[in-house]
Structure 1
């Protein structure tokens, strides 16, 4: 017997009860007996039964009286009514009350066994389906991978808690909405829509890496495996996508590649700077000698001064590139972050002279005291302040919000009221040699990122609260200005 039922036999005739019990137990079922409805109530209160064989006429009532009550007491049980005689009305009434079969006495043993076997088989299939559903639900709830189901129209049917965790989107907010419009970056939508269409046509699209857009406007890189879901007629009714978040892996690979590039640049620049510095020193010495002969020629003197400034700029450029490529070794000490950024702001007094520029602070807790490399962090704040001053028209308002994000980190938000950053700028702002200025090396923000990483922290551009996601989706700079989020650990050792 593949599936054994626990059967309650409610029958007042002892001989009939014994015969039926023997027949059913031959097939491996467990049979409980009750001679009356009162006893049946007691049995179902203590036992989990899957099938009830109910004699229509009992000493304390009829099946018509007890069917509804039995269904309430044993809601998971099937009920077969047994009777010595039947009429159409009582049969219809029994089925209306939930009986699954109606058997006449004298009972045909084979007919009874087949009826019970059908119920047992159905119960077996239902049990397997329940277990499979529980297994699937457990996978959906616990899998450390994205599980996404889309309708053939591209609308969201379901995704699992892991996706909610990494994206910030909730299923209740997204169900029935267009996946491409809600959860994908604007520039990627058409490409990924084509992947979706290919998957619907059963073209293998697995292995590709496409980003998702988190609720706060950031991107997570996902490696997807895609398939179609089909019904019993092999007709596709949905698309299933399972994805692994490879954002951190790609970031680690990028850091390793950047380290290799930096090592190569450093090696090249070290030699170049050495040779160039010697040449620049000879040029400088020659210019100083030439100046002595040009006291009476002011126009020529101005040309020499111009050459000297160019020489000085070239020397600074070589030094900046050399410092960028060099390893960062931190000299850690206890310091107050507000004191560091206030000192930097004071040092920038000359560059903001005559301007309506103000630094606003919001400090929570104990003043954001921690262990850092003071000189390196001064460089971080200087770059951020200078960029805000350069990008923002008067009145300039730069705001710093410093607070504990948890027990181990300090979160610093630095924002301004300038034009903000567009999509390209947000994506490339920390890349070496990227700049939107007419002058400069484009290394400032890349150096900032390296300094923060050396502190085992993170820095990123976030969306201004005032603009939400509109400017991001439109690909325009945010009217709320640029906002940088720095997270630094409280405990840091010297390196």
Structure 2
């Protein structure tokens, strides 16, 4: 505040640096009696407070005083008004200040009114130095405590906002009280959408919820947990792996009030470890399959040759012909199995070219015409106007759609409806959903669907979906399985668009099975 002849800083020795440095409070003294003014300035200045002076309420209002004062000491009766009339406007001008009223005499009614208006203290004249010093010292102490609390709160807030750890505070029922900025950035959840919600139901994948509730209850009971790893659901449906340390927050009496969870996102580490383990397994599988294929090739060739010779000698109508055909089918199945395992174990080297996705899946659906036979099967398409251009290895991507379509045809009873939705995000990714109207997958099947050798079919190697995952990830994308609306299985893929491609507009359409 600029000081004028009306409001001025009380005179302090300019060479008394120690007194200025240890100043406790910024005090505004409103007093029109020069003797009382000088007495209070001397008392307050001696304790290191900075004192500014005003002689009337008009001085304050006319200068538009800034709200920098910690304390206002004012005479109850001033030339242009009394405290009861002036306090409401003074408090709005000085929202951070405490108020002490000094009065020559006081009646019960005016004192009660002053306290109702927010006065901190009420002192009678003549002012005893020890009284005013004690009252001001108490206010200074309270201000210091409040400043320290605010400082610690700001520090805690800054730690929460700048930490690259995931921080979650829960109440004792598991509801979210607070999350930090890094949590919202990594997981996509906005704090205001999570506050008051059950943390485990919203953020933990369903298969892990029971285990995490046990950990939470143990923490509520006072047991500190560390190194707990679990998946975390993001708003886009992906799962990130986080390692947590949980502890309790307590009140002044030592009672537990909240649960503090601090986590580190280890998704990249887990994926790197899984990839290394997978590569090791693939190398072992590849070596094994190569040896098997080498040893089996001649035997399978002899079997097939012998079968063909037998077919020449045995009439079609003969009962023995069925047994021969069974041997041929078994030989073909064994050869297909060896080839599928070989494809799974072999390194993926991509030969990319820019194509439109709908051209790829339509071609694959056409390839499966014999597999569909006379079944009531329909492919339903829905894609954005750009046609969804991608940079992919076409043969590999055809294999992805072939495996997905074959699984749907095997799982669904007629009528079979396979829907492919495809749309761009306007930037660099394309989202592809393939869903069917079959029985869908249970929780265990969804969790294991991409595991090698896991299958829901009566026959098969269980490598089809593992191959799909490897091909999609080799393209820099990802794939996951969710429940389709109304039942069935739904596979969600993300693929990267090419840097530049000629875009052709296409309309939504339906492709019939007999097309």
What is the match of residue 448 of structure 1?
468
Contact 1:371-1:491 within 8 A present in 2 as well: yes
Q: How far 1:225 sits from its partner (Å)?
A: 1.0
Structure 2 Cα separation of the partners of residues 18 and 190 of structure 1: 73
Normalised to the residue count of structure 1, the TM-score between the two structures is 0.89
Specify whether residues 197 and 124 from structure 1 end up closer, same or farther in structure 2 by C-alpha distance, changes over 3 A only: same
Q: How far 1:186 sits from its partner (Å)?
A: 4.2
Q: Residue 268 of structure 1 aligns to a residue in which SS?
A: helix
Specify whether residues 409 and 184 from structure 1 end up closer, same or farther in structure 2 by C-alpha distance, changes over 3 A only: closer
Q: How far 1:61 sits from its partner (Å)?
A: 1.4
Specify whether residues 90 and 24 from structure 1 end up closer, same or farther in structure 2 by C-alpha distance, changes over 3 A only: same
Once the two structures are superposed, the pairs formed by residues 354-433 of structure 1 within 5 Å of their partners are 354-433=374-453
Structure 1 Cα separation of the partners of residues 479 and 211 of structure 2: 29
Specify whether residues 322 and 198 from structure 1 end up closer, same or farther in structure 2 by C-alpha distance, changes over 3 A only: same
Contact 1:217-1:462 within 8 A present in 2 as well: no
Q: How far 1:358 sits from its partner (Å)?
A: 1.1
Once the two structures are superposed, the pairs formed by residues 82-161 of structure 1 within 5 Å of their partners are 82-161=102-181
Q: Pick one of 241, 257, 266 that aligns with 1:246.
A: 266
Q: Pick one of 57, 62, 65 that aligns with 1:45.
A: 65
Structure 2 Cα separation of the partners of residues 63 and 291 of structure 1: 117
Q: Residue 60 of structure 2 aligns to a residue in which SS?
A: helix
Q: Pick one of 475, 479, 483 that aligns with 2:490.
A: 483
Contact 1:11-1:36 within 8 A present in 2 as well: yes
What is the match of residue 474 of structure 1?
none
Contact 1:3-1:120 within 8 A present in 2 as well: no
Structure 1 Cα separation of the partners of residues 207 and 183 of structure 2: 21
What is the match of residue 49 of structure 2?
29
Q: Note if 1:310 corresponds to 2:317.
A: no
Q: Pick one of 78, 83, 93 that aligns with 1:58.
A: 78
Q: Pick one of 472, 481, 487 that aligns with 1:461.
A: 481
Q: How far 1:114 sits from its partner (Å)?
A: 1.8
Question: Alignment length, in residue pairs?
Answer: 480
What is the match of residue 253 of structure 2?
233
Per-residue deviation, residues 329-364 of structure 1 (Å, max 9, x unmatched): 111112121111111111111111211111111121
Once the two structures are superposed, the pairs formed by residues 177-326 of structure 1 within 5 Å of their partners are 177-214=197-234, 219-288=239-308, 298-326=318-346
Q: Residue 458 of structure 2 aligns to a residue in which SS?
A: coil
Structure 1 Cα separation of the partners of residues 445 and 316 of structure 2: 50
CA-atom RMSD in angstroms: 2.5
Q: How far 1:160 sits from its partner (Å)?
A: 3.6
Q: Residue 227 of structure 2 aligns to a residue in which SS?
A: coil
Contact 2:441-2:483 within 8 A present in 1 as well: no
Once the two structures are superposed, the pairs formed by residues 163-178 of structure 1 within 5 Å of their partners are 163-167=183-187, 169-178=189-198
What is the match of residue 473 of structure 1?
none
Specify whether residues 313 and 421 from structure 1 end up closer, same or farther in structure 2 by C-alpha distance, changes over 3 A only: same
Per-residue deviation, residues 235-275 of structure 1 (Å, max 9, x unmatched): 11222222223334323321221111111111221122112
Unaligned 5+ residue runs, structure 2? 1-20, 501-515
Contact 1:372-1:455 within 8 A present in 2 as well: yes
Q: How far 1:219 sits from its partner (Å)?
A: 4.0
Contact 1:216-1:463 within 8 A present in 2 as well: no
Q: Residue 292 of structure 2 aligns to a residue in which SS?
A: helix
Q: Residue 253 of structure 1 aligns to a residue in which SS?
A: helix
Q: How far 1:44 sits from its partner (Å)?
A: 5.9
Q: Residue 46 of structure 1 aligns to a residue in which SS?
A: coil
Q: How far 1:79 sits from its partner (Å)?
A: 0.4
